[in-house]
Amino acid sequence: MATLSIESNGLLEKTAVYYNGEQLSGIKELFLNLDEDGSFDAFIQYEGTDGNLYTKQIFSDYLENIKIIEPSFTEEESQELHLLTIESNGDIDETLVFYDEEPLDGIVRLMLHIKGTSKPSGLAKLFKSKDVVDKPVFISEITFRNEDDELETETIF
């Protein structure tokens, strides 16, 4: 089972991603979508140690040439952040979700999309229009089903 953890306060500059306990570097995009209907999308795009760009399924693919760095935050800084942890083997039924180390139940949907900016490439380089802009993305939402069967959506970070 692989473990993915995201430590953040909701700002890209105060976000760290850990895979099996080690902090990753070179991440271009991280996308997680889990829902009670069985959808389970968990992808990461990163620049490897060899300079190549990789797109992998987080919980079932081997993350080759992944960059590992020393933790960015001190213990004191970490106390001001929240920690979302997902343990999985790639099967939605074998997936556990923790928030600040507490297990979460009643999850209807979890959506996490983190993307930093990058230099335009491919076709985007051909356009000089302001319409083609690579903007940073930070979406972190979780929807729960309450005891009264009402849905409640909260921001994770």
Q: Comparing C-alpha atoms, which of 66, 60, 70, 18 is closest to residue 45? A: 66
pLDDT tens digit sequence for 41-88: 999 999 999 999 999 999 999 999 999 999 999 999 999 999 999 999
CB under 8 Å, gap of 24 or more: what pairs does 102-107 form? 104/142, 104/144, 106/144, 106/145, 106/146, 107/34, 107/36, 107/142, 107/143, 107/144
pTM for this entry: 0.86
Q: What is the DSSP pairing of strand 40-47 with strand 2-8? A: unpaired
State the Cα–Cα distance between residues 151 and 157, nearest whole angstrom. Answer: 19
Strand, helix or coil at 12?
helix
Single-letter code of the amino acid located at 89: N
| Count of all residues that appear for the chain in the document | 157
Range of the domain at 114: 2-155
Strand, helix or coil at 10?
coil
pLDDT tens digit sequence for 83-123: 999 999 999 999 999 999 999 988 999 999 999 866 555 54
14: pLDDT strictly greater than 60: yes
127: pLDDT strictly greater than 60: no
Measured from the Cβ of residue 58, the count of other Cβ atoms closer than 10 Å reads 20
37: pLDDT strictly greater than 60: yes
Contact in structure between 16 and 157 (CB atoms under 8 Å):
no
Domain count across the chain: 1
